Homo-oligomer: A and B are copies of this chain.
Amino acid sequence: MFQALADPNRRQMVQRLCEGPASVSELAQPFQMTLSAVVQHLAVLEGAGLVRTQKIGRVRTCQLDTQALRAAERWISERRALWERRFDRLGAFLAEQDVKEGDGA
């Protein structure tokens, strides 16, 4: 999942898909690379659950699936919150220590 978002090209594809569904060729258009390469990136994104695709006739249409994005967002925000809460506690503790220091000794 993070693996999938690690590549700049794939992030750009996600970016593109934010603006609406696209066929494989449309998705490949802004890139220099081969259609083959694009399809491989697409496979990674799909494997990570970031993108869903369906083929109609000979054209495969891709769109974002926000489930995985949600999961990633949650992972990050949980950890951030955890650390920041800890930091607050530490801050309070240090402040208290300070008070005691300045006061007692």
Contact = CB atoms under 8 A, between A and B. Distances in A.
A86 B76 CA distance: 24
A11 B2 contact: yes
Interface of chain A: mostly helix, strand, loop or mixed: helix
A80 B69 contact: yes
Place the interface of chain A in its size category: 20 to 34
A72 interface: yes
A20 interface: yes
Given A70-B80, A73-B77, A54 B101 contact: yes
Interface of A: 2-3, 5-6, 11, 14-15, 17-21, 54, 56, 63-64, 66, 69-70, 72-73, 76-77, 79-80, 82-84, 86-87, 90, 94, 98, 101
Contacts of A20: 86, 90
